[in-house]
């Protein structure tokens, strides 16, 4: 029998890996994927709590997180395509138009 702690630890580890990805990579698409990684680790926590507490709310929340992630991927990738058209790069260090 696996305890709840194991799931929480695993999810913490994948979350931190995602954070490191966001902070260190410069390819916009890989940064985006690291965000998906973080979302998924949170989903794991939610499902684990839901199963251990016997409360379906956690799994509902995961369902909504997935919908939001789908919407986010569509819009985010559209932004990436638009960026690439304008600047011919996906390096987020070069996409610094906000600090002209």
The DSSP symbol for 88 reads S
To other proteins, the closest distance from the beta carbon of 100 in angstroms equals 21
Of 3 and 100, which has the nearer Cβ to other proteins?
3
32-40 contacts, C-beta under 8 A, 24 or more apart: 32/73, 32/76, 32/77, 32/80, 36/69, 36/73, 38/14, 39/65, 39/69, 40/14
Interface with other proteins by CB under 8 A: which residues?
A: 1-10, 12-14, 16-21, 23-27, 29-30, 32-34, 36-37, 40, 43-44, 47-48, 50-56, 59-60, 62-64, 66-75, 77-82, 84-85, 89-91
Shortest separation between residue 97's beta carbon and other proteins, angstroms: 16
């Amino acid at each position: 029998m696996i305890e709840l702690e194991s799931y929480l630890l695993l999810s913490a580890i994948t979350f931190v890996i995602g954070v490191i990805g966001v902070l260190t990579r410069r390819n916009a698409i890989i940064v985006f994927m690291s965000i998906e990684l973080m979302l998924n680790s949170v989903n794991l926590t939610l499902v684990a709590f839901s199963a251990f507490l016997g409360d379906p709310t956690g799994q509902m929340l995961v369902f909504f997180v997935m919908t939001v992630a789908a919407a986010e991927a569509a819009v985010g990738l559209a932004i990436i395509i638009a960026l690439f058209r304008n600047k011919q790069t996906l390096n987020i260090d070069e996409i610094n138009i906000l600090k002209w």
